[in-house]
Amino acid sequence: MQTAISIEKIRADFPILKRKVRNDKQLVYFDNAATAQKPIQVINAISDFYTNHNSNIHRAVHALAEEATEAYEMTRDKVAKFLNILDRQEIIFVRGTTEAINLVAYTWGRQNVKAGDIIVTTEYEHHSNIVPWQLLTQEKGAKLEYIGVNDDGELLLDQLDTYLATGKVKLVAISQMSNVLGTITDMPAVMQKCKKAGVRVLVDGAQSVPHMKVDLQNLGCDFFAFSAHKMLGPTGVGVLWVRKELLEQMIPFHGGGDMIREVHKYETTWNDLPYKFEAGTPNIADVIGFSAALDYLNNLGMDFVRNHEIEITKYALEKMSAIKGLKIYGTKDISKRGGVISFNFADIHPHDLATIIDEEGVAIRSGHHCAQVLMERLDVAATSRASFYIYNTKEEVDVLIKSLEKAARLFKL
């Protein structure tokens, strides 16, 4: 009963959940792996900045500039506390996970990867953790290798041992949670293997940070990237964390204002960390909006977030498994997966299925989910995906089930 009361209070903070969509149906939003909805606290924080504090940061000494700078930098402090980062200088604001990973590839990668080296990633990565490494290895004459996925959607980590044994692996780039299968990577096992081999590790935390407690001191990786918009914050904001000893050696990704100390005709010296990597006017309002999102999640507690999603996902898996002809991908072990369920339904194309479900007001995702390497492994062109968050309810899952049953009737399954 307490959970139900809490969820209703949470839902009241999200104006969009009151919307009616197709056929005057109540919106049921199950596309949270793509982006989360925003609470009124985040919306108000952005509005307040533009209404009362709008100014550029780090430059002027007038009142608005000081207020804006203080609010912007306060977000950096909150990120540090949220992820247990001990040095705020290691936190770089970027546009999202994609830019964060590209930054590492274009700076650390181009300085450290050479011909014959190996970069290891996995078959269940998002394209943003594959394409930058393809570009880098092609440019450098290095090699990109993949850790495979078994039929339960879990990584075949013995393959990592094989790659590490070559002595040529320079980096392992791996997601902490799959955006398609929901699989939670066994990061302690990965880190143990890589540390023993002296190999750097980049972790894509886009799907993990919004849904579970992440402690970077315990995780032990070297690079960590995630996005604000998947965790109640605005789009266009992300975070890259890098160990300071690595960050100090990395060259800037962008050149321009604020990332410099002095500029002369033929030479430039760089600003202190982290500003060396934050050229130009940043996305000030949305970083401040992200601050409100962090407050919201902290007030709930990440244990609450995780436990609620386990409850909803377990319920959905049970209901969906009872539907004839519906194939669910990924592990059935709820402790090893997040709130993401990818599935196919008989011979119904995922886009057709999503269209039918949309007519009932239910928003799911259909397609390859920017994970075509995984689609090839699953031997499918696309899947349907329902993904859950803090404001979703079992009653909404029931609406999804009814819409799937409607699709079965339409296609005479």
- As annotated, the active-site residues are 370
Let me know: does 93 contact 287? Beta carbons within 8 Å: yes
**d(C-alpha 344, C-alpha 342), whole Å:** 7
**Nearest residue to 378 (alpha-carbon basis) of 243, 183, 144:** 183
Q: What are phi and psi of 168, to 5 degrees?
A: -110, -5
Torsion of CA 66, 75, 126, 368, to 10 degrees: -90
Let me know: does 372 contact 127? Beta carbons within 8 Å: yes
C-alpha dist (Å) from residue 176 to 59, 145, 188, 216, 231: 37, 18, 11, 12, 15
Cβ-based neighbour number of residue 266 at 10 Å: 5
C-alpha dist (Å) from residue 382 to 259, 295, 360, 368, 385: 42, 36, 21, 5, 10
The two tokens of residue 251 are: 């060259």
The two tokens of residue 95 are: 């546009």
**d(C-alpha 161, C-alpha 148), whole Å:** 12
